[in-house]
Structure 1
């Protein structure tokens, strides 16, 4: 490693061993020596690491983050400046260069019986031309607004399943992207936003063929979850959700087949709307299961989501006055169960009904699988090895669904939808958006399968009803326990968002003593 320029800013003598420790830390970073990097941080809860994505507190949280990130980008240490606080402590400011861009790393070091250790580290990363965790392609903007309108000034992150003029459509699969020509026109859902004054910031990453709820795609770096660092961002609309959560776009244009808007909204503390099936034209959108595929939007706040929904769908913003009903046997984990119960207590009378959700979800998954294989099976067979093991396994199971299986499941699902709608009447269904908080990135595969099954048990309800569903971060402080979900009647999309805004006011206002 090239020796950097070392400067004591206050003229004091640099304590023995400090520079050597700082250089050893840089070498360990370059070699991704996780054990040595862990040893360089002080033990216990007082260690702190911050970067553009937020704060990690405690040695354990920092060590776990480092294990999961898969190494750091190569960088060159150019200059090390030192401020001596005492013979036992100092601050270092390291100027580094990576890919031609400079950055700064500030660290507070303490002398311990085991040598110099880092107590606080702030990583000042350089502005990247493209954050590949979030974007496949981006611009400033990528596409300007087509005309002034109600969405003037809004920037949009488009999920990589919508046609964007001049760009190739990738569907989260590099081999699929490589075989595509640039699109000659925008998908209808994209053009609707451009025609109302919004601009496209870029095309955001997605899970492979959108057939996942995790937000993990091995073809690009892990998409961040800024609300729950080190945890899954939720899929398949992870990219547009992260772009919105990071403030890199105001709106995420996404799809929801079995929860792909509601899950990342719940995991990342966002508002999200799955629209009534067919309410938004899906022309120019890559299909997964057309009987359930919908387009919708993600936003950081309900007012923005309402503005977009009203602009595109053109319905009245009068809030739904229907009663609230929930289902028994939701099988929620803590803290979701506790937060949901607390929310119901604040919302007044909520009718409870029993329904066999396991049967509904099983029928939904069978129909979804059959349609997913029809959508992509021929391409998958012609391009073996192009998908990750997880998604490939899901498609392999889908291939086994017979015509009789699909027919029976479709009849069962239609029956469930009819009976459930009769039970609900004109009432609005209220549920947690997800039954769990976001799992950690290193969750065991078997446990992740269980989370997926439990999640689709709830999210398939809106799909079966072909109904709108809105998620808002109202369970726990700042939505830390997940999203609250309303499922309404077909066509009541805008009224449903307005109703959720009213509930948000009720839930965030201090109760009277």
Structure 2
């Protein structure tokens, strides 16, 4: 067992509780979800040692078991899910088979690696600021962040509840859609709008080869009849930077509210990068957090208005998975990628990352479809059509 990917692995750890549409499928559960008889480690050994065993499954886990799936094991996460890289100071970095030597992407790092390696069919994780979409992009997977609140979060350990979602990834859209048939069965079937929009103001932070690849794929999808010709929507060039700064402020404030008391009584328990992020939250004033929340609310409202009759099509990440170099490459990539991923998080809208892009050196990257609230399952249908059009499948 690769302990950078798995905390617990069995055959299976938990079997299905009933037959259903997921018969025969296996799941890697991110170490943020309650699994009956187990504890939740949240990517930190000190936290793990202090937890009690759960007497019931998280709601999402229970639903998947009730639809015929089995849980293969509990997979790694970045500490408290507060990263997009997949590098855990205590357990290491799960492998990225799609770009060997590069980071796996996080914070749903373990489940993503398990899916990409073919060890399981489904990775059950969370997405607060891109924690499903980023590893999907870096490892050539399909990842869905659902409409905020669409999947019950009972039994899921939080980071920033205003943005946290239950989310999942798979190797192809059809499997991701089967999960949606279970977890999103209650959603009304809202269609994806026919209009396609892009936001050129976002391109400034994206690697030029990814910008070019995204433009090429969009044009090819238009030629295949999958997308309508893209319409550019002008934003104030300063808006994305202001929005992401406000988003990170709210996220940090809520994260400290969740864990600050524990962190203060456990000095040295966190890796340096994660400790630095929590320190930002500790230093925030209520006035700063309130102002940031107003900015995020305004940005989210604007985005929902844009998406009411359109689908936004953008790169999932600012580049392919970065290679750790001892410098700031990974953090620079995280900051640039947050300019893209925070949009759906701020607006509470669904977003699906599809493996349709390549960096100039061949590393995979995702193309992201962002739709209006409630269009989750239709977005997965769009993703399936896009993959079929690009691969001839």
Normalising by the residue count of structure 2, what TM-score does the alignment of the two structures yield? 0.93
Q: Counterpart in 2 of 1:450?
A: 332
Alpha-carbon distance, 1:317 to partner: 7.3
Residue in 2 aligned with 1:495? 378
**Does 1:324 pair with 2:206?**
no
Does 2:249 correspond to 1:366?
yes
The residue that corresponds to 1:412 in the other structure is 295
> Is 1:388 matched with 2:271?
yes
Q: Deviation per CA, 1:395-439: give whole Å up to 9, x if none.
A: 011111111011111111111111222234310111111011111
Q: In the alignment, what sits opposite 2:79?
A: 208
Match of 1:139 among 4, 7, 10: 10
CA-to-aligned-CA distance 1:152-188 (integer Å, 9 cap, x gap): 1010000000011111100000000000011111110
1:403 is aligned to 286
What is aligned with 2:226? Answer: none
- 1:70-117 residue CA offsets vs partner (Å, 9 max, x unmatched): xxxxxxxxxxxxxxxxxxxxxxxxxxxxxxxxxxxxxxxxxxxxxxxx
1:345 paired with 2:345, answer no
* Secondary structure at 1:404 match in 2: helix
* 1:440 corresponding residue in structure 2: 323
Q: Which residue of 2 aligns with 1:108?
A: none
- Give the 3-state SS of the residue equivalent to 1:347 in structure 2: helix
Which digits, 9 at most, give the CA deviation of each residue in 1:315-360, with x for residues without a partner?
A: 5778635211111122221421221111122133101112221111
Q: Paired residues, what number?
A: 380
Match of 2:58 among 182, 187, 194: 187
After superposition, residues 98-137 of structure 1 pair within 5 angstroms as 130-137=1-8
Number of the residue aligned with 1:178: 49
Contact 1:360 1:413 in 2 (8 A): yes
1: CA distance, partners of 2:308 / 2:64: 33
1:283-312 alpha-carbon deviations (Å, 9 max, x no partner): 111100000000011101111011111222
Of Structure 1 and Structure 2, the greater helix share is in 2
Matched, 1:504 2:387: yes
Contact 2:124 2:167 in 1 (8 A): yes
The structure carrying a bigger strand percent of its residues is 1
Mapped contact 2:29–2:123 kept (Cα < 8 A): yes
Alignment partner, residue 28 of structure 2: 157
**Cα distance in 2, alignment partners of residues 426 and 502 from structure 1:** 20
Verify the 8 A CA contact 1:155 1:251 in the aligned structure 2: yes
Q: Does residue 241 of structure 1 match 2:115?
A: no
Cα distance in 2 for residues equivalent to 1:506 and 1:152:
28
- 1:16-52 CA distance string (max 9 Å, x none): xxxxxxxxxxxxxxxxxxxxxxxxxxxxxxxxxxxxx
Deviation at 1:479, TM superposition (A): 8.1
Per-residue deviation, residues 219-272 of structure 1 (Å, max 9, x unmatched): 113310000000010000000000001111100000000000000000000001
Q: Which runs of 5+ in 2 are unaligned?
A: 223-228
| Aligned-partner Cα distance in 2 for 1:255–1:479 | 27
CA distance in 2, matches of 1:221, 1:452: 18
Deviations 1:191-244 (A, max 9, x none): 110011100000000000000000000211331000000001000000000000
For 1:482, the equivalent position in structure 2 comes to 365
Distance 1:225 1:146 in 2: 32
- For residues 505 and 239 of structure 1, the distance between their equivalents in structure 2, rounded to whole angstroms, comes to 28
Of residues 422, 427, 444, the one that matches 2:310 is 427
TM-score, scaled to structure 1: 0.72
Q: Paired residue for 1:197, among 46, 68, 79? A: 68
| SS of match in other structure, 2:144 | strand
